[in-house]
Structure 1
Amino acid sequence: MRLAKVSALSFDLDDTLWPFGPSVARAEAMLRAWLIEHAPDTASILPTQQTMSELREEYERSRPDLTNDFRALRLGSIRLALARANADVALADPAYEVFYAARNRVEFYDDALPALAWLSARFPLIAVTNGNADLRLTGGGEFFRETLSARAFGIAKPEPEIFHAAAQALSVSPAELLHVGDDYHLDIVGALNAGLQAAWVVRDPQPEVARATQHPASAHLTLSDLSMLCRALGGPDKLP
């Protein structure tokens, strides 16, 4: 695909700039350890780390109205664990802070920070996320003008409104905003349907990636890392 004029870029965060799985697994392990230390009876409710994820999923099924509010879902699952253990549910708030701090200790992909440094020197960047990562805590926030989260905005990807709001925040037309993300449906289909350009980051190709997609491959870039994005925008073969 050949890009049209690009005046600004929007970025997804989790699994685009860093792997999400390891950070949330570490955060859940720290949360479980904290709960067992401060409310020992939760040990029987949370016999394994996997139980943390299962409890979170159980609570989400019971509260579909909170689908895009990851803080509320996690807090609710913590309160559920405490209540089942007949422990003090007031511990949920400090427990969540332990979880959230660990969730934001991410390890950027090797190409991410050099690419963001090169891109932000040439284009305004905005983060557009359905998640709850905080760039002030993860690092990398200096490269972005703004973060637009589904929880704060009230509308999540792939709905066009959140993409249009990103373009408006950077004072560019949707057609001149290039959205970069790893989720084909949320990021790529969503961006293209909103009139943006799109770059699909596929770091670990799986057989299903080759499946027929809603938009032809010619409609978007497909990248194995962000250094390829820089080259597509006129950057050097190798970033510093």
Structure 2
Amino acid sequence: MTALGLDVARIRAITLDLDDTLWPIWPTLQRAEDALGAWLTTHAPRAAGLARNPEARHRARQQALTDHAAHAHDLATIRREAIRQLLAWAGDDPALAEPAFEVFFDERQRVTLFGDALPALAALSARYPLVALSNGNADVHRVGIGRYFHAAVSATQIGVGKPERRIFAAAAQAAGVPEHAVLHVGDDALLDGAGALAAGMQLAWVNRASAHWPPAIAGRPHAVVPDMRALCGLLGVAVS
């Protein structure tokens, strides 16, 4: 846990990344992929066979990104269209992409929070307005943590994702404060770190893996913490 020039008095709101900051994303996505595969096996078995092939899944995603380049920031749209592509290649009904995606999306909301996440959210939200800021498609209300958030801002809503400044500006506006009064908290040095620093926010880097800060990124985090409980300690926020 390191404070590298963090000015706590300047903080009037906190924007908070979700995936890999509050819960590990890969187990969540694997469960969602498994649920999707099971559904396809029943309703579109030929597409299910294709979906079991990593190369076919990759090609379907790349095709979706090519066909829907204007929506590259919208992970839900790209996922849905990749499923549609697999269905079409397999000779199954492409209209099944809609219910298939809903199966995936529903399971994607069943996250397993890091043990430090809920106590920290409760403590931080009692002192600061919290705004979820994510490139992903998790819904804080469906996940079950919506009560801690003043607002939620996503790449799908804004039309661009982190590290673009516009999404950070939108999050600050949702919090009702200027960007320089925001502490952004996230795990990704590029998406969270470079984006927040370029927007003039303070940055707390949640570095659960004890990684090194990439030297290519201009600027450095104002704080480095191993988890959310440590962040509360740096901010002087008591955690129950």
Alignment of 1:41-60 (within 5 A): 41-48=46-53, 50=54, 53-60=57-64
Q: Which stretch shifts more, 50-59 or 27-36?
A: 50-59
SS in 2 for 1:147: strand
- Measured against aligned partners, the alpha-carbon deviations of 1:139-159 in whole angstroms (never above 9, x if no partner) come to 111100111111111122112
Does the CA contact (< 8 Å) of 1:56 and 1:73 recur in 2?
A: no
SS in 1 for 2:163: coil
Q: Give yes or no for the alignment of 1:178 onto 2:180.
A: no
Question: What is the identity, as a one-letter code, of the residue corresponding to 2:85?
Answer: L
Tell me: CA distance 1:210–1:13, structure 2 relative to 1, closer, same or farther (3 Å): closer
Q: Give yes or no for the alignment of 1:212 onto 2:239.
A: no
Question: What is the identity, as a one-letter code, of the residue corresponding to 1:221?
Answer: A
Q: Report how many aligned residue pairs link the two structures.
A: 234
Quote the RMSD (CA, aligned, Å): 1.8
Q: State the shift of 1:52 in Å.
A: 6.9
Alignment of 1:214-233 (within 5 A): 214-217=217-220, 219-233=221-235
Tell me: CA distance 1:211–1:125, structure 2 relative to 1, closer, same or farther (3 Å): closer
Match of 1:117 among 118, 122, 135: 122
Question: What is the identity, as a one-letter code, of the residue corresponding to 2:232?
Answer: C
Partner of 1:22: 27
In 1, the alpha carbon distance for the partners of 2:192 and 2:228 equals 15
TM-score, normalization: structure 1? 0.91
SS in 1 for 2:45: coil
In 2, the alpha carbon distance for the partners of 1:184 and 1:100 equals 26
Tell me: CA distance 1:213–1:114, structure 2 relative to 1, closer, same or farther (3 Å): farther
Tell me: CA distance 1:110–1:182, structure 2 relative to 1, closer, same or farther (3 Å): same
In 1, the alpha carbon distance for the partners of 2:89 and 2:79 equals 15
SS in 2 for 1:231: helix
Alignment of 1:62-211 (within 5 A): 62-63=66-67, 64-206=69-211, 209-211=212-214
Q: State the shift of 1:59 in Å.
A: 2.8
Does the CA contact (< 8 Å) of 2:13 and 2:177 recur in 1?
A: yes
- Runs of 5+ consecutive residues of structure 2 not aligned to the other structure: none
Does the CA contact (< 8 Å) of 1:31 and 1:95 recur in 2?
A: yes
Moved over 3 A (4+): 50-53
Q: State the shift of 1:200 in Å.
A: 0.6
- Measured against aligned partners, the alpha-carbon deviations of 1:167-215 in whole angstroms (never above 9, x if no partner) come to 1222212111000011111111111111111111111124xx2542424
Tell me: CA distance 1:44–1:169, structure 2 relative to 1, closer, same or farther (3 Å): closer
- Runs of 5+ consecutive residues of structure 1 not aligned to the other structure: none
SS in 2 for 1:127: strand
